Amino acid sequence: MSKNQAVTPPPIEFTGRIARLLLSLIDGTMKLLDKEDNLQKKLNETAVVIKKGIRVSSATELDQLIDDYFDRLILEQKFAGGERDLVNAMVLEVVETIKSMMKNSGDFNSGIDECTDKIQEAETMQDILKVKNFLVLEMQKARQHSLNLYEELEKHRTASETLTKKLEESEAKAMVDALTNVLNRNAYNLKIGQLFHEFKRYKEPWALLVLDIDHFKLFNDKYGHKTGDKVLKSVAGTITDSIRLSDQVFRYGGEEFVVILSRIDKLSTSTLSEKIRKAIERDYFVDGDKKLQVTMSIGASIIGEADTETSLFERADKALYQAKENGRNQIMVDA
């Protein structure tokens, strides 16, 4: 090639697609960084330069895959952070229990010192018998306290072993559903144990919603599984947009989702459940020239003192069944 021969620039379409791809990668990377990170500013400046200098193509399927990848990564990191917080909280609980033991041990030692003083001061048999009764009482209090502490520490041990096992299992599994980009059943199994532990300690109520797409099999049978997958993704997105930042949505399996509502009562549970139901009903899914309406039935239960992980889910699932029996596209709350 001669020095004077012009270099043919790449096609505009090609540069536009490369620009779009680069912007997707920059955007995803920025989501992972802290706002104060110096790289944030540099990446943002680069994105501005690209947008000004190149005509960026519209988003492609590859760009969407990149966006989904970063969204999954962020969700997993956020979820893992919550589990680390729980481990820290459990360690602090054990420390508090030990502090309580040491404090009460000091009280017992103080009582023994008092008993010694009384023995030295005793002048009659009646005085000595009083000291004996005082000593027996102190010993009974110490014994009962030791039993209570043993039971408390045993609860911590059992809870920590259960959590450790779940954490070890989760390390080898993905926490985000690849299709819908919400947390999956593995994450639910881990989260539900955490919430039960917190409820026993803090007594703050929360609700479990079980949601099922009405007549979902018809979507697959009539329009194909590809359309069915698009419906699932659309529904997951609508649910996510309808809940609060403190709440979480999980794909439990198939067309069934679970939502956990934190710090809530029966009235708020009904209100938020109805908000989700209406949002699903209001949205319609476009497949070619067809508008497909999707509805969901929702069953809800609010945690109680007697609940186990199994019983709480069964109550919500039973409420879901009643909602479907009553005609679908409605909510039922079993408090």
Q: Which residue's structure tokens are 């956020």?
A: 78
Catalytic residue, chosen from 255, 256, 305, 314, is: 255
CB atoms within 10 A of CB 300: 27
Cα dihedral 280, 286, 287, 292 sign: positive
User: 194 with 82: CB under 8 angstroms?
Assistant: yes
Contacts of residue 182, Cβ cutoff 8 Å, sequence gap at least 6: 75, 176, 236, 239, 240, 249, 250, 251, 257
**Length of the chain as a residue count:** 335
Give whole-number Cα distances, 301 to 79, 150, 275, 320, in Å. Answer: 23, 33, 16, 10
User: 315 with 305: CB under 8 angstroms?
Assistant: no
Strand pairing category for 331-334 and 296-302: parallel
* Measured distance CA(29)–CA(40) in Å, rounded: 9
Structure tokens at 115: 């008993």
Nearest to 189 by CA among 211, 209, 165, 205: 165
Does residue 255 have an active-site annotation? yes
* Measured distance CA(226)–CA(219) in Å, rounded: 10
DSSP label of 243? S
Q: Annotated active-site positions, please?
A: 255
